[in-house]
Structure 1
Amino acid sequence: MLDQLHRTTGQERRRRPRASALIAIPAEPALSYNRRPVTAFRKGMALSRIPPADLRWRVDPGRLVDEEATRTAHSATLDRLVNSLSQAVADNSPARGHIFVRGHAASDRGMLLKSGLESIRPPRRELHDYCLVHNFVYPDRPRLLRLPAGSGRKLRAALGEINRFIRDQLESALEARPIRNRLQALSDRSDAEMRRLTGPLEKKLKPHGLVLVREEVGQLVRLTVHVQQTGRVITQDDLANLVAKGQVSPEEFEQIRTVIRDAQPQIRKLTDAINKTWNHAHQLRGRLLRAETRRLLADLAQPVLRQFADPGVKEHIEAIIADVLEKRVDTPTAHLADPELLYSINLVHTAIDDGLNLVHEHAPTPRNLGGTIDPSWLENRRSVASFLGVRGGSLLTANGGFLVIDAEDLLENPRSISLLRNALTNGMIGIEPPPDNSSSPAISLRPEPIPIDARLILCGTQRHWQRLQQEYPEFIGLFAAPIDIPDSIPRDAAGVTWIAARLRDAAERVHSAPISDEAIAALVEQAARMGGRNRLSTRMGDLLTVLRTAAVLAGGPESDHVSAVHVHEAIDRMRPLRPVSSNPHFETSGFPARQHQLGQVHVCGLEPDGDRNYGQLIRIQASLAHAPDTRIAFEGADQAPGSEISIRIESALAHSMRMDKSIGLHALISCGSTSTGTAPRTGGALILGSVLALVSRLSDIPLRQDLAVIGSLDSDCRLTPVEGINARIEDCFQIAQQSQTSGSPGVIIPTIQREELMLRPELIQAVRNDLFQVYAAGNLSQVLEMLTGASPGHWRDGKFTADSMFDRARKRLTAA
């Protein structure tokens, strides 16, 4: 049977349907439809019509006073925020006191947070500078120095002087005359002792023309016998060459070699004795140089040690002196690192004691939050890691204060959430090198963890809070209950003047042309449109966008100030009009002319387009058949509606017709947009339109087509509010204009949303000229009365008014 319904509905879209072709219920005798007098209907429509003055809430520019008393619209929220911030800074545990400020990004979230932070007075607490220094025992584990606030730079400067002395002046200082004289005396005594040892052998060799020569080979001394020939001393190899040339006889050469061989045992003993003497002299030289070096460095370090009583500083200076004495005294130093690099300090964090420490991190990556380790220098074309490459992150920078992060940015970095959770829980941050990087340091450093004492402030929306709760429950456990920032305030005199004052302040910051009171009033009216019923939006980001655009428009040569015209034009540019496009499923598109159709109604849904929403005119048609159970099918929507939609439609029909049992109806609901080619979305508009079309089909009473219905239905068949009421009305008006609809088309809206109306001036003028109308209805019966021109019927004594719409529909359902 449903297949037959599909075929029937397909034919309906190709030609104007007949009422008898749409209903598969056995024909009944025609019922006369007793309409009430036209004058009464027109009177009811007039009462339901919303007058032009009520279509837009207006602000009197002359009453926008700028009083300080009007700047307290958020006083209660600000008090809660200040109280939470004060408790946070007073709490000494880094695992507690963290704050989540919950509100829309364009709201006053940032302004209130700034005001709250300016209002608190942080308690006095001990602040520290944190420095990393080279660990001479375990080079891959840099040591941490904790100094009083402001001492880090002083220590770095003091050590810098010592390090430059070691690099540039130590060698020349050890060559001073007193030290040089003492070294020369040591050398002279060593030479005298060695001459005393070698004297007897030299006398023994001299008659044979032989000379004992002392040669230094590294740390050793070697004795060799040379030959004195023709007034000069030559080696034994040179003497062999002379023999080969015939200048020395072989006999003479052999006698010399015999003497040398006989002297070898004595030469070996003398070599050992001389090496002992030589080494002893060298040791004495090293002791002297190291003693002088220690004295020089100790004199330089003494003022530093007096200034910095920290044991870690003393230990580091002693380690520097020990390393210099071991590696840089009386030994080559070309292969060693620059003393300014090796012996310096890395000031990872400097505490600033000038009020509340506030850090905003706009890119909360693990590197930016926790810090990183960069290569310090190149050695043999290879990057070398050093403690100097350790960089602290914003979490360390915020020590003693607050770190502010946007939750949207943080959720894009899951590793950052884990880093924050561990660091805030433990009160320590361990800085690590970046993972999997081709330029990563050759040595994997693990600096000593650094204490942190920062409070985290996350700014986000309800969606961000829920996502953190679901995905990171341990992290969200660090926060107290979120502080909610409302995105609207009451639309009263205080709220109006407060918004106006904020806008004037913003205009000064934008450096725009002078802004008129009328322009401020237009912006306040835009805040009312954004805020909803009796509310003013505090999404200053959106209002500032309008203000900036208006300022640009006012920048031409014909304008010397920002006017209300510029503001309205800026608003129009932010939401450009869309042309009406045809739908191939319908013969006509746009807003229909004034006529009546059976089982067909027009509603206005909401169609998203990027960051904007547009009203979408939707034509809904109903065809039906009687059956023992209820089954409602749909076609034309963007996705198949679920069973919940069918149940709500059935419930609304049963409630409106006072039926306790199942209505037993097979129906096909066909829908499509007449203003765009986009399939309608399922929702409240589809439910309301389906109920209206089904009642029309069941009662065999056509509905007026030039009125689009806006709203949804609750379980008691009352019209309920919908999102974007102003956009829906304005887009229906635009569609009617572009379609050049004759007569006086209009819309029917929920009565409860009358106070939300903030319609464009051109639409209000069209209402004044009777070219467009806006009606208000409170329930389904009132909507049907406007669409048919007669009351749908009243329930009395167990039945509806005879021959009324509900009476005819109910009889049709109970006929089988």
Structure 2
Amino acid sequence: MATKLAPEALYKPCDPNMFTFNTTDDIQGIPGTIGQEKAMRALDFGLSMDSSGFNIFALGETGTGKMTTVMTALKEKAAGEKVPEDWCYVHNFKDPDTSIAIPLDPGNGIAFQKEMDDLVKAVRLEIPKAFESKEYEMQKNRIMEEFQQKQSEYFSRLDEEAKTRGFAVKRGPTGVLIAPIRENGEPLTKEEFEALDEKARKKMEETGRMFQEKLNDVVRVLRDADKLVHDMLAKLERMVALDLVGPLIEVMKTKYKNNGKITAYLEDVKEEILSHLDEFRPTEEQPSPLPFLKMPKAEPSFAKYTVNVIVNHSDSKGAPVVFESNPTYLNLFGRIEYRVAYGMASTDFTMIKAGALHRANGGYLVIDIMDLFKNPFSYDALKRALKNREIKIEDVLEQYRMISTTGLKPEAVPLNTKVVLVGSPYIYYILYSLDEESRELFKVKADFDSRMDRTPESMAQYAGFIANCQREEKLLPFDRTGVASIIELSSRFADHQDKLSVKFSSIMDLMREAHYWAKKEGSAVVKGKHVRKAIEEKVFRVNRVEERMREMMLEDTIIVDTSGTKVGQVNGLAVLDLGDYSFGKPSRITAKTFAGKAGIVNIERETKMSGKIHEKAILIISSYLGSKYATKNPISLSASITFEQLYEMIEGDSATCAELYALLSSISGVPLKQNYAVTGSMDQNGDVQPIGGVNQKIEGFFELCKIRGLDGSQGVIIPKRNAKHLVLKQEVVEAVREGKFSIYTIDTMEEGLELLAGMPAGELQEDGTYPEGTINYLVAKRLAEIGKALEKKKEGEGNNVIAKSPEE
């Protein structure tokens, strides 16, 4: 038998007197998150696990405070951890296209950068001075004088030998050459040479060739000596520069002796300076073909000696916690920037910029998974970085270019970062099912619930949470009635009398709006009436669609009866969700039955307006009919069921009971009361199952009845298992208390049928029949009549065939 619910069962109030404070100013706020014990333990476990792959995926519905909770937990844990290393890039003198990544102790990155700048400044200042010193000039002149003296000796010896044979060594514009001479030592003219007889000319030519070969040998020896002189001068310059650079480098090497990459780099720097001393000499002005136009000096670049600090922790305290709100590939992994001059783009290691992974290295990186998916390449690159445990700065678009371009390939940075992805359960389970790498890299699931148990302890926690939010948002204090009203509405948001919603974004919005109405009234505190006013005003702002639909029902544009009786018709209840607002919508469900074997036809299915769950409900109805009325004889029946004036897709099984009531009414001919609306799912045994949106469904039908006039006969039939989900508006509760409206719960389908039909359903007797005067008796009788009518029709068709002559 259907149970009529008392007003006390429709709403679970929160007694303001259970609180000992007057306002939230009198109590200590509870910072952080409440009601998320599972998620917090999972976060703590994931953050404490150092093994590879134990990154965290924080999942939960929107508004449950996932991001705030994660960031708070990370900052608390990171505050007690050590500050990670600084990272910098330096020039690779052996392979300029591959910049070297160097780690340093926190704060030493900037110090190392300054020390290198000071080193270059000192070298640029001191080396030119050393090359201008008297000591250097004396040693240089001594080497040059020795060479010149040896050069003179070689040429003098050759000249003396040549003169004995009528030749002399002459210096001309084109160099040193052998020329024939007269007895007085003057060069022989061309005419004089041609005037000689042929024998004398040939002899002179042979002698000239001999001395030319000797001259070539002398030049060759002097050239080797010149090279030796240059080597000696280079060694001299190197020794002079080394006396200056060596001590400076050694001081730095001593300071960073525990960092092998820096000591190796400093050794390369020393060698580079000593090998390019000309860069440290004063630059001469370039000659110009036009006297009035001076060419600028070609200043050498010393950028290759700078240090590019990409991560600086000099001011950091604890491990870094980085939230990347725009996780593009470049923002995550860094970039190499370019400078454009005269139409050409160029770059070097000083233009390498860090990404979020660099800044979070040694700490924690938080990313919203939807933001990650919106950016191409980011998700796959992040998985690759976590798997390989390194951060590589690459040109991700290089593979898509028609022409390959040369560029820097910076050395990868070792990655030691705990990554926390934040997203919805839907995305998590898709990734878990389809992406094997995701399962291996994000092994910790922090599942944020949308509600918590409603107990005296949790309500006290809720009051502390409200107090904390009130202080953070600088709202008016809430008194006990205000806190109690928020707790009551929190149960409404959770759709459960014994639960509280932990979708804190909605709770905080409610607090802000209640503060607004209290302030507008001039109240010093936020009271319960202000909280209720906030809800009423919010509904008023967003319920335009609901009001229009209700107007159409009052005008009978959308036909929904709330009085009288009808055969084969019942009021069903659905919920329309517009995103920012959802409300209950009554709908007429009708059924028609007639003789035939088509079975139950779902008109929505035939018109492709029915979802799979709704189609399943129709099949359950067919199964129920067969098990109930076809235990001995098969059922022969054609029936159709539809939602009248339905212009959109229908999905769900919450109308299963209502559809069956309409069908049984049509079969039996028993009219059903239209002053009731029904909602409830059903299994094959006829047991009623709970449904969702029960509060909105009840209130939707109540509002329609209220406008037409409550006469005490109207009501709603819901599953008994939904009683604990009732958190109805006070207006509905008062109407039930005054006997103007009723809410019934049923456990089996027959209980609701009896209430709608006003007669017993009837139980199966030992002889396999139902007692007269019951609905089941009338249904079974009608089904038997349809079966007999079909049998007679079949026999008549058979007789007609037998009576025909062969000719026919």
- TM-score range relative to shorter protein: 0.7 to 0.9
* 8 Å CA contact retained: 2:573, 2:655: no
The residue type equivalent to 1:579 in the other structure is E
Whether the 8 Å CA contact 2:591–2:639 is kept in 1: the answer is: yes
**Structure 1 residue aligned with 2:93:** 136
After superposition, give the CA deviation of every residue in 1:315-353 in whole Å (9 maximum; x if it has no partner): 2122222222323427887767631x2122233445688
Is the Cα contact below 8 Å between 1:702 and 1:788 reproduced in 2? Answer: yes
2:322 counterpart SS class: strand
The answer for the alignment partner of 2:476 in structure 1 is: 513
**Match for 1:56 among 8, 11, 14?**
11
Is 1:147 the counterpart of 2:104 in the alignment?
yes
What displacement does 1:697 show?
0.8
* Distance in 1, Cα, partners of 2:567 & 2:128: 108
Taking the TM superposition and a 5 Å limit, the aligned residue runs for 1:661-680 are: 662-673=634-645, 678-679=647-648
Residue 570 in 1 paired to residue 534 in 2? Answer: yes
Residue 610, structure 1, aligned to residue 579, structure 2: yes
Whole-angstrom CA distance in 2 between matches of 1:631 and 1:744: 32
Distance 1:106 1:387, change over 3 A: same
What is the alpha-carbon distance in structure 2 between the residues aligned to residue 412 and residue 660 of structure 1? 61
Per-residue CA deviations over 1:96-116 (Å, capped at 9, x if unaligned) read 322333332422534554565
Amino acid corresponding to residue 564 of structure 1 in structure 2: G
For 2:242, the equivalent position in structure 1 comes to 294
Distance 1:343 1:381, change over 3 A: farther
* Mean Cα deviation higher: 729-738 or 269-278: 269-278
| 1:459 alignment partner in structure 2 | 422
When structure 1 is superposed on structure 2, of 614-623 and 792-801 the one drifting more is 792-801
Secondary structure at the residue paired with 1:482?
strand
Q: Deviations over 1:241-293 (max 9, x none)?
A: xxxxxxxxxxx9999xx9xxx9x979999988887776665554443333222
CA distance in 2, matches of 1:516, 1:202: 120
Counterpart code for 2:99 = P
Partner in structure 2 of residue 320 of structure 1: 269
Q: Is the 8 A contact 2:123 2:244 kept in 1?
A: no
- Structure 1 pair 784–568 and aligned structure 2 pair: CA distance change class (3 A): same
Asked if 1:580 corresponds to 2:542, the answer is no
1:491 corresponds, among 454, 467, 472, to 454
Which of the residues 705, 723, 733 maps onto 2:692? 723
What per-residue deviation string (whole Å, max 9, x for no partner) do you get for residues 183-207 of structure 1? 5666677777778889999999xxx
Which of residues 32, 42, 47 is equivalent to 1:81?
Answer: 42
Q: CA deviation at 1:128?
A: 3.8
1:639 aligns with 2:609: yes
1:786 aligns with 2:755: yes
- Contact 2:54/2:443, CA 8 A, preserved across alignment: yes
Q: What displacement does 1:707 show?
A: 1.8
**Which range moved further: 786-795 or 684-693?**
786-795
Select the residue among 588, 613, 627 that pairs with 2:596. Answer: 627
Query: Counterpart in 1 of 2:781?
Result: 811
In structure 2, the residue matched to 1:776 is 745
SS in 1 for 2:419: strand
Q: Quote the Cα distance in structure 2 between the aligned partners of 1:433 and 1:717.
A: 64
How far apart in 1 are the matches of 2:279 and 2:601? 100
CA contact (8 A) 2:629 2:635 kept: no
Amino acid at match of 1:302: E
| Counterparts of residues 2-81 of structure 1 (less than 5 Å) | 48-51=4-7, 53-64=8-19, 74=35, 76-77=37-38, 80-81=41-42
Report which stretch shifted further, 372-381 or 439-448.
439-448
* Residue 623 of structure 1, CA deviation: 0.7
Number of matched residues?
A: 725
C-alpha displacement at 1:365, in angstroms?
3.0
Q: In 2, Cα distance between the equivalents of 1:521 and 1:170?
A: 81
Q: Secondary structure at the match of 2:442?
A: coil
Tell me, yes or no, if the aligned pair for 1:629 and 1:662 is still in contact at 8 Å: no
1:418 corresponds to which residue? 380
Task: Write out per-residue CA displacement over residues 625-646 of structure 1, whole angstroms, 9 at most, x where no aligned residue.
Answer: 1224624231497713555233
Q: Is the 8 A contact 1:385 1:443 kept in 2?
A: no
State the SS of the aligned residue for 2:582: strand
**Structure 2 partner of 1:711:** 680
Cα distance, 1:286–1:380 mapped onto 2, change above 3 Å: farther
CA displacement, residues 156-182 of structure 1 (integer Å, 9 cap, x when unaligned) = 221121133345664355434544565
Check the 8 A contact 1:721/1:750 in 2, yes or no.
yes
Give the structure-1-normalised TM-score: 0.77
Q: Tell me the distance in 2 between the aligned counterparts of 1:337 and 1:759.
A: 81
TM-score by length of 2: 0.78
Matched, 1:800 2:770: yes
Contact 1:364/1:410 (8 A) holds in 2: yes
C-alpha distance 330-115 of structure 1, shift in aligned 2 (>3 A): closer
Moved more, 347-356 or 294-303: 347-356
Cα distance, 1:605 vs structure 2: 0.9
1:699 and 1:445 map into 2 onto residues whose CA distance is 85
**Which residue of 512, 536, 543 maps to 2:500?**
536
1:305 deviates by 0.8
Partner of 1:527, secondary structure, is: helix
* RMSD between aligned residues: 4.4
**Residues 428-480 of structure 1, C-alpha deviation per residue, up to 9 Å, x if partnerless?**
23221241599999533222222112222233333222111122112212333
- 1:652 and 1:772, CA in 2 relative to 1: closer, same or farther beyond 3 A? same
Matches within 5 A, 1:225-624: 282-309=230-257, 310-329=259-278, 338-339=301-302, 341-350=303-312, 354-369=317-332, 371-378=333-340, 380-413=342-375, 415-436=377-398, 443-480=406-443, 482-533=445-496, 534-556=498-520, 558-575=522-539, 576-577=542-543, 578-581=546-549, 588-589=557-558, 591-624=560-593
The aligned residue for residue 159 of structure 1 is 116
Shift in Å, 1:525: 1.5
| Letter of the 1:368 counterpart | N
CA distance in 2, matches of 1:590, 1:134: 81
In structure 1, distance between residues paired with 2:562 and 2:78: 68
Q: Report the CA distance between 1:761 and its aligned residue.
A: 2.9
Matched-pair contact (CA < 8 Å) for 2:658–2:679: no
Verify the 8 A CA contact 2:79 2:317 in the aligned structure 1: no
Offset, 1:538: 1.1
Equivalent pairs: percent with the same residue?
A: 22
Residue in 1 that maps onto 2:657:
688
Task: Quote how far apart the aligned CAs of 1:808 are.
Answer: 0.7
2:484 maps to amino acid = A
- Which stretches in structure 2 are left out of the alignment for 5+ residues? 22-26, 163-169, 178-188, 196-207, 284-296, 788-808
What is the CA-CA distance between 1:600 and the residue it aligns to? 0.7
CA separation in 1, counterparts of 2:40 and 2:434?
A: 31
Measured against aligned partners, the alpha-carbon deviations of 1:134-155 in whole angstroms (never above 9, x if no partner) come to 2222222222334344433322
Q: Deviations for 1:709-751, whole angstroms, at most 9, x for unmatched residues? A: 1222223323322211122222223334456677753322222
Instruction: Write the distance in 2 (CA, Å) between the matches of 1:201 and 1:574.
Output: 114
AA of the residue aligned to 2:38: T
Q: Does structure 1 conserve the Cα–Cα contact (< 8 Å) formed by 2:571 and 2:587?
A: yes
Q: How does 1:116-131 map to 2 (within 5 A)?
A: 116-117=73-74, 128-131=85-88
SS at match of 2:589: strand
1:218 aligned residue: none
Whether the 8 Å CA contact 2:279–2:300 is kept in 1: the answer is: no
